[in-house]
Amino acid sequence: MKIGTDRMAKLINDLLSLARMENANVQVIKSPFNISEVIGEVILSMEALAKERGLSFSQSIEPGIIINSEMEIVKKIFMILFDNAIKYSDANGKISVSLRRDKHRVLCSVQNRGKTIAEEDLPKIFDRFYRADPSRTAENGGYGLGLAIAKASIERLGGNIYVENTPRGLTTFTFILGDS
């Protein structure tokens, strides 16, 4: 009973989060923060979960990147992408995280090796309730809201998010934020 209640609470919270990000009347309050430190903290908080699944990871985090944005929203976006990388990695696979400045933009990528997303699914991967793999259900893979929340959130901050596959079985999610 408690598991069902917890899942329902998570679904409601995810729907509320998505509605907030899509509501143009809700003001985003930006302030400067060190995104390098925030990404590092999230990795540390989720490292045990990755190791539990036998995953290793590498990181290339450019230190001291200060951006003017909404820290909690950026943190949530990264958590969604890192959590998905953990869920969709091959057993004993590897996750790679990179964060770098490119002129007046910041690029953050999360890459994992696993079953890649089919080309026909790529345009729909950020749609709410969409799951590219029909075998994943709410019990083992969420409700298909995480990437929709990430997309709505990054767009709300004036950024962009995209996904790409490589022929070697790597999937990379990248979000880009401007300096303003």
Entry pTM: 0.83
Query: Nearest-CA neighbor of 153 among 95, 72, 61, 48?
Result: 72
Q: Which of the residue ranges 35-39, 82-86, 136-140 would you say has the lowest mean pLDDT? A: 136-140
Question: Could you tell me if 49 and 86 are in contact, meaning their C-beta atoms sit under 8 angstroms apart?
Answer: yes
**Residue 136: predicted pLDDT:** 47
| Domain extent at residue 81 | 2-178
Instruction: Render 97-159 in DSSP notation, one character per residue.
Output: EEEEEETTEEEEEEEEESSPPPTTTGGGTTSTT--S-TT--HHHH--S-HHHHHHHHHHHTT-
For residue 126, the model assigns a pLDDT of 81
CATH code, 130: 3.30.565.10
Domains in the chain, number: 1
- Tens of pLDDT, residues 55-85: 988 999 999 999 999 999 999 999 999 999 9
Question: In the predicted model, is pLDDT for residue 23 greater than 70?
Answer: no
**Does the structure show a pLDDT above 70 at 43?**
yes
Q: How far is CA 37 from the centre of its chain?
A: 17
DSSP letters, 38-84, are HHHHHHHHHHHHHHHTT-EEEEEE-TT-EEEE-HHHHHHHHHHHHHH
Q: How many CB atoms are located within 10 Å of the residue 171 CB? A: 22
CA-wise closest residue to 50 among 2, 78, 89: 89
Phi, psi of 143 (to 5 degrees): -115, 5
Buried b vs exposed e over 150-163: b needs ≥16 C-beta within 10 Å? bbbbbebbebebeb
